[in-house]
Chains A and B, each alone.
Chain A
Amino acid sequence: MIQIDNLTKSFGKFRALDGIDLHLEKGQAVSLLGPNGSGKTTLIKSILGLVIPEKGSITINGQLIRNNPAYRANIGYMPQIGRYPDNMTIEQVIHMIKDIRKEQTNYDEELYHSFGIDKIKQKKMRTLSGGTRQKVSACIAFLFSPDIYILDEPTAGLDPVANELLKDKIAAECERGKLVLITSHVLSDLDGLTSHIIYLQDGKLMFHESIGQLQERTGEKKLNKIIANILTNADSKQICIS
Chain B
Amino acid sequence: MLTVSKYVFLDLLKNRSILVYTAVLAILSFTLLGLDGNSAKGLLSLLNITLLFVPVITTLFSAIYFFNSLEFIELLLSQPVKRTGILLSEYAGMALSLSAAFVVGVGAPLMVLLPIGASFVLILTGVLLTFIFTSIGLLIFVISRDKTRGIGAAIIVSLFFTLLFDGLMMAFIFSFSDYPIEKAVVGMISLNPVDLARILMLLQLDVAVLMGYSGALFKDFLGSSAGSIYSVVCMLLWIVAPLMLALRIFRKKDL
Contact = CB atoms under 8 A, between A and B. Distances in A.
Contacts, number: 77
B39 interface: no
Contacts of A51: 254-255
Interface stretch (A83-91, A105-113, A171-179, A219-227): A83-91
B10 to A, nearest CB: 7
A72 interface: yes
How many interface residues does chain B have, given as a range? 20 to 34
Given A75-B78, A79-B74, A81-B71, A87 B14 contact: yes
Given A83-B72, A87-B15, A101-B80, A50 B7 contact: no
B71 A52 contact: no
A5 interface: no
B14 A96 contact: no
Nearest to B70: A83
Contacts of A228: none
B66 to A, nearest CB: 11
B69 A72 contact: no
Nearest to A80: B71
B177 interface: no
Contact of A11 (B74, B82, B254, B255): B254
Contact of A86 (B7, B11, B254): B11
A140 interface: yes
Given A45-B255, A52-B254, A69 B7 contact: no
Contact of A88 (B10, B71, B78, B81): B10
Interface in B62-100: 68-72, 74-83
B7 to A, nearest CB: 5
Interface in B3-34: 3-4, 7-8, 10-12, 14-15
A79 B77 contact: no
Q: Is the contact region of chain B dominated by helix, strand, or loop, or is it mixed? A: helix
Contact of A70 (B3, B74, B80, B83): B80
Interface in A44-87: 45, 48-52, 69-73, 75, 77, 79, 81-87
A170 B100 CA distance: 45
A82 B7 contact: no
B252 interface: yes
A49 B69 CA distance: 18
B80 A73 contact: yes
Contacts of B70: 83
Contacts of A83: 68-72
Contacts of B82: 69
A81 B15 CA distance: 22
Nearest to B86: A100
